[in-house]
Amino acid sequence: MTDHEPLELERFLPYRLSILSNRVSQAIAREYQQRFDLTMTEWRVIAVLARFDGAGLSAREVAERTEMDKVAVSRALARLVAAKRVVRRTHDGDKRRSVLLLSAKGWKIHDVVAPLAREHERELLGRLDADERRMLQRVLDKLAPV
């Protein structure tokens, strides 16, 4: 007899949310990876820079807003800058601080992928009725307030 009490992963909420997140993200990721040679992290960086266009976010702010690992964000940004999808500029003449903005190439990708992502979200939410969608939104707002 053992004193161990293994987690039932298939019933463990963090595990289930992680699996769901991976499935949802991977479904759309396949398309933009094939079309634009874009990783999931790179797409999220593009999406955040688009969302806060004009603000000129630092790499640290991008990592904070995406809640992704700083090293992963840094690698993604390096690739995006090298591919001329993101532009790095100095912040108001302060050479110690750089800000990141989408380039025309970055916006072009965003303007193709964002509608695909929205359509994917509509299809996913279409599996729920109106009451379930409202409940899901309330639960998400409670568990992960924006």
The model's pLDDT over 58-82, given as tens digits with 9 standing for 90+, comes to 999 999 999 999 999 999 999 999 9
The answer to whether 107 and 51 are in contact (CB under 8 A) is no
- The pLDDT, as a whole number, for residue 14 is 92
Higher pLDDT, 104 or 24: 104
Would you call 94 helix, strand, or coil by DSSP? strand
Residue range 98-104: mean pLDDT, rounded = 94
pLDDT digits (tens, 9 = 90+) for 24-62: 899 889 989 999 999 999 999 999 999 998 778 999 999
- The pLDDT, as a whole number, for residue 17 is 92
Residue 145 has pLDDT above 90, yes or no: no
- The pLDDT, as a whole number, for residue 46 is 97
Higher pLDDT, 89 or 96: 89
Residue 96 has pLDDT above 90, yes or no: no
What is the CB-side half-sphere exposure of residue 98 using CA atoms within 13 A? 10
pLDDT above 70: percentage of residues in the chain: 97
| CA gap 79, 34 in Å, rounded | 16
Would you call 40 helix, strand, or coil by DSSP? helix
Show the domains of the chain with their CATH numbers.
9-143 (1.10.10.10)
pLDDT digits (tens, 9 = 90+) for 116-125: 999 999 999 9
Q: In angstroms, how far apart are the furthest CA atoms of the chain?
A: 68
